[in-house]
Structure 1
Amino acid sequence: MTTSAILEDVFRWRRDVRHFRPEPVAEATLDELLQVASMAPSVGLSEPWRFMRVDSPTRRDAVRGIFARSQADALAERESEDAAAYARLKLAGLDDAPHHIAVFSVEDPIQGRGLGRRTMPETTVWSTVMAIHTFWLAAAARGIGVGWVSILEPEAVRQALESPASWRFIAYLCVGYPSERHDTPELERLGWEQRQSACREWVRR
């Protein structure tokens, strides 16, 4: 198989995983993933990302509580029929995943000396998302699943994890070996949404 075919296979398999096996990922492998993530491009070489391992049961429980409140609020805002379909979705691997990783972005890093940020300061956040994606692909290449829990109130999570005030919460990742392997998104398999052809076509001007 060619290098490009292998890479495309990783892209295809890279799913937002919600169902995990209980066995942990080796510490050395987790460290490898962090080192690969740090190869991501960043504006002005600012490297604004900060990856935090959340191992404390107490802190994990706090995040679960924030998720439960955020999910309840989301359900309350939906029409009854839509809410019923939404409630059937397993929207987090918080109970099953052996590893929890919170990712933050330094709001105004000294590193990089502001290069490329004067007119678009949000590029530091985009750089952090690039690091998350790099982590995700590196994990997929090793048969490890990642799930991004986005139904969370950012400031509540930041306080629960006692991160510095200058760190902006970006992502809460569930990490572990997936219980199943799929090359299509779970939301597509459950009939929640379908891929659109317009997203695979050039917009021309």
Structure 2
Amino acid sequence: MSISKIIRERRSIKKDYKPDTVSEELVLELLNDAVYAPNHGIREPWRFLFVSSEKKEAFVEKLITCYPSEAHQARRDMYNQPAAYLVIIMKEDPRQKQWEEDFSATAALIQNFQLLAWERGLGVVWKTNAHNWDPKAHAILGVAPGEKIVGFLHLGFFDQENVPAARTRTLAEEKFTRFE
């Protein structure tokens, strides 16, 4: 499959996951290619927290405590849908230029991961929920001071018939200018 085809056909898979386990071996295989994202000075500012299918229930029970009790069941239902999770954590550099370079590199890594996963039939949705900034969630996940959650990736295999339809994108020509 060509890279342009994968880029155009990749979708965020948010629901209707198969019950199949997402193996740590597959996640590591994908990450070992995804880390070739461009990153200035090869600082590699990221680290990864994998929540396996086997540990997901305990993880969900801890994570829902970051929400008001009346939201627990709805969050439990939502967070139990994916087969596994991958949390992408970035070391925050106090220098603005380096911080932005590192954030951009981490975002590129996440996009690489999503494209590689799509090629293998693994659905991913990149989430930035409120708990990404919650100190209680940081404590649960072991996110240290000076670190930032860049992405909460929901992972699961899917059936092709459940793939969302493509949404229209604006042509580059409509946002393109020339320096004169």
Q: TM-score range by the shorter chain?
A: 0.7 to 0.9
Structure-2 residue corresponding to 1:143: 121
Secondary structure of residue in 1 paired with 2:2: helix
Structure-2 residue corresponding to 1:89: none
Percent of aligned pairs sharing the same letter: 25
Structure-1 residue corresponding to 2:74: none
TM-score (norm 1): 0.68
2:81 is the counterpart of 1:96:
yes
Letter in 1 for 2:28: D
TM-score (norm 2): 0.77
Secondary structure of residue in 2 paired with 1:35: helix
Distance in 1 (CA, whole Å) between partners of 2:172 and 2:145 is 40
* Contact 1:13–1:183 (Cα < 8 Å) also in 2: no
CA change 1:198–1:10 in 2 (3 A) is closer
2:16 is the counterpart of 1:35:
no
* Contact 1:59–1:161 (Cα < 8 Å) also in 2: no
* Contact 1:48–1:105 (Cα < 8 Å) also in 2: yes
Residue by residue over 1:11-64, the C-alpha shift from the partner in whole angstroms, topping out at 9 and shown as x without a partner, is 122111112111012332222011111111112110001111124433323334
- Equivalent residue pairs, number: 165
Structure-2 residue corresponding to 1:182: 163
Q: Which residue among 156, 161, 164 is the counterpart of 2:141?
A: 161
Q: Which ranges of 4 or more aligned residues in structure 1 deviate by more than 6 Å? A: none
Structure-2 residue corresponding to 1:203: 177
CA change 1:118–1:140 in 2 (3 A) is same
* Contact 1:51–1:104 (Cα < 8 Å) also in 2: yes
Q: As a proportion of its length, which structure holds more helix?
A: 2
Unaligned runs of 5+ in 1: 73-91, 110-116, 189-193
CA change 1:182–1:58 in 2 (3 A) is closer
Letter in 1 for 2:165: T
Unaligned runs of 5+ in 2: 72-76
Distance in 2 (CA, whole Å) between partners of 1:26 and 1:58 is 17
2:21 is the counterpart of 1:47:
no
